[in-house]
Chain A
């Protein structure tokens, strides 16, 4: 009786084992990104950017005379799935390098796989933990939250704002930035008088903002968060007529944010962003100008959507990788790793990258531009 059950089980297993093995190809680069799920607004432009750029590179003759084959998996933002795909990229697809880990959670979950397999890995997530302490095979392209905090605090200090209120999202991004900001706020002689949080799906932040507004002596407000939260904070901020300078994080540096919050509510907000966002405003002699203008044009022509900082992270990761491949002269993981670590003065969308054995990010504060929202558009401060 049970034997039939067994036959059925065996049959199912045989079916499962039918997973196809991939064909051998040229230079194989893997990626596991969160194209769907809660981090889709990060992962989707990243995946589109990678596919677009790889097509462009291959059309132009490839790298080292060979074509690049890009294998992208969608982990849906689930670290456990990401880990499985990471194993698959290493063991089954036999890639020479991996880009990805859209979120800090997925990146932290998969980096050990690449460390063990000795394959270079370039993460697209924000947290400083990914590259600090430095791991031999792990690199990343986005600036850390700490750098965003530093940029904001430096601007506050320059404006003479020394007593601030903070309101942070309780999601991964908000929590991480909140922590990093509090660690360095003292270095700038700035005091946090009010410290409020909101949940990632909250629809109203009036109570928290009322608390901040009621605190004696607050001169400015900093909102650490991304997604829809900061847009709601911005609208509530206008409704309550708080009237103090409002700073947002680099997490909302996109045109979508102005649309969501409304141009009138967003007027005067300052935030640290990348050159990509203000491509048109950059001076002619800016080293990043040609690159960001070209990427913006090709991305918008191919997808019909505005570029975002996040797609830029993927752009830079691939650029670092291709640059390293060219300098290494061969598509071997060890050689690529050494070449990535020796990256020097490479201009990307987020900044100019110079890596070293102690620094696997390679960006400094100049990578950030302080932006202000003016008449529904962006303006460079400085």
Chain B
């Protein structure tokens, strides 16, 4: 039963990603789709941190920024392939998360939220101000990793948008699979235990600080990879990705869809990514709408959209 629920989630996700293109009237939808997957990946990391471990980070865009700029800078300065640069970026993000999180996660309460807020601001300031390295607020170009050319030589010629749709879709499914595996692993159980009660978890022998740190580092990996994916498909990057608003967007997506469920959070990413596209006419009111949606969800569906809705449907079935 436990295994099958995980498998259904993954199968549903894979089927959605694979079948959605059948309904796409133009390749612009591939672009929106791949943005959903990029945000979905970062949000999956936040499910581990917020949904499993109960910690809030308000600076995850900082890790997105590190991942994105790694893909832009490492090829130029270290001569790495951009894909290898994404791995370096993830390692760097994980390392920084470990350094930042280690002292802070020993404390209880809102310290992580505040510290990560500062960290996010720091990263975006460095990216904007160190213009000789990062190109400053005008941003810099990201080299092509050559994956598409590789596929083409193998006989599979995909359009740019379709390729990145497929690539980020696959990365997202792998990311979701790992996160779902984690949920049922001893680490996942420890995280959920400390989410419920830190005192109780410590009593049964859970290393609270250690596990919180692990969740923070894992979520930093996810955010960094999502930044790399974004940089690689946009081939251009500006410090906006590391901005405070992006951090808030990520948290909103997680909470809106349901922080406790991977599929729910990805749904949150989907809604908040497509909303600005659907509501182009109401662009001026976008922030107002986001705020309103957020408040309504928090008041009426505290577990998030997907878990609350599915519970309602289940309830009616009885």
Q: List chain A positions with a Cβ less than 8 A from chain B.
A: 1-10, 12-13, 16-19, 21, 35-36, 73-74, 76-81, 83-85, 87-88, 90-92, 104-105, 108-109, 112, 116, 127, 129, 170-172, 175-176, 179
From A6, A12, A127, contact of B270 by CB (8 A): A12
Instruction: Kindly list 11 other residue pairs between chains A and B, CB separation below 8 angstroms, not including A105-B139, A172-B138.
Output: A2-B5, A4-B313, A4-B314, A5-B310, A6-B263, A17-B23, A108-B139, A109-B238, A112-B236, A170-B136, A176-B138
Q: Are the C-beta atoms of A80 and B263 separated by less than 8 Å?
A: no
| Residue on A nearest B307 in the bound complex, by CB | A5
Q: Tell me, yes or no, whether B185 is within 8 Å of chain A by CB.
A: no
The answer, yes or no, to whether B203 is at the interface (CB within 8 Å) is no
- Return the CB mask of B18-39 against A: 1 if under 8 Å, else 0: 0010010111110110010000
Taking CB atoms, residues of chain B closer than 8 Å to A176 are 136, 138
CA distance A19 to B25 in the complex (A): 10
Given A12-B271, A36-B284, do A1 and B26 touch, yes or no (CB 8 Å)?
A: no
Query: Which residues of B does A touch, CB under 8 Å?
Result: 4-5, 8-9, 12, 16, 20, 23, 25-29, 31-32, 35, 128-129, 131, 136-139, 141, 160-161, 230, 234-238, 240-241, 261, 263-264, 267, 270-271, 274, 276-278, 280, 283-284, 286, 306-307, 309-310, 313-314
**Which of B238, B263, B307 gathers the greatest number of chain A CB atoms within 10 Å?**
B238
Q: In the complex, A81 Cα to B31 Cα: how many Å? A: 11
Select which of A76, A84, A129, A170 is within 8 A of B277 by beta carbon. A84
Q: Name A12's contact: one of B131, B267, B276, B307 (CB within 8 Å).
A: B267
Say how far A322's CB is from chain B's closest CB, in angstroms.
25
In the complex, are the beta carbons of A6 and B12 less than 8 A apart? yes
Residue of A nearest to B266 (CB): A9
In the complex where A84-B32, A172-B136 touch, is A105 in contact with B240 (Cβ < 8 A)? yes
> Would you give the shortest CB distance from B268 to chain A, in whole angstroms?
10
Give the distance in Å from the alpha carbon of A92 to the alpha carbon of B136 in the complex: 32
The B contact surface, by secondary structure, is helix
A83 and B283 form a contact (CB under 8 A) = no
Q: Please, how many angstroms separate the alpha-carbon atoms of A21 and B28 in the complex? A: 11
Instruction: Tell whether, in the assembled complex, residue B234 and residue A88 are in contact, meaning their CB atoms are under 8 Å apart.
Output: no
Looking across the interface, which residue of chain B has its beta carbon closest to that of A72? B280
What CA separation (Å) do A202 and B20 show in the bound complex?
48
Q: How far is the CA of A319 from the CA of B245 in the complex (A)?
A: 36
Chain B residue, CB-CB nearest to A170: B129
Contact B234 A80 (CB under 8 A): yes
- Measured in the bound complex, the distance between the Cα atoms of B271 and A87 in whole Å is 19
Nearest Cβ on chain A to B237's Cβ, whole angstroms: 8
Q: A331 to nearest B CB, angstroms?
A: 20
Closest 3 CB pairs of A and B: A172-B137, A91-B28, A74-B283
Contacts of B25 in A (CB 8 A): 21, 92
Q: Measured between C-beta atoms, what is the minimum distance from B246 to chain A in Å?
A: 9
Alpha-carbon separation in the docked complex, A16 to B136 (Å) = 36
Find chain B residues with CB under 8 A from A175 CB: 131, 136-138
When distances are taken between beta carbons in the complex, the residues of chain B under 8 Å from A35 are 283-284
- Whether A76 touches B137, Cβ cut-off 8 Å, given contacts A1-B314, A8-B306, A16-B270, is no
18 A-B pairs within 8 Å (CB atoms) are namely A2-B9, A5-B264, A6-B12, A7-B310, A8-B267, A9-B12, A17-B20, A21-B25, A36-B283, A76-B286, A77-B240, A79-B234, A83-B234, A84-B32, A108-B236, A170-B129, A170-B136, A175-B136
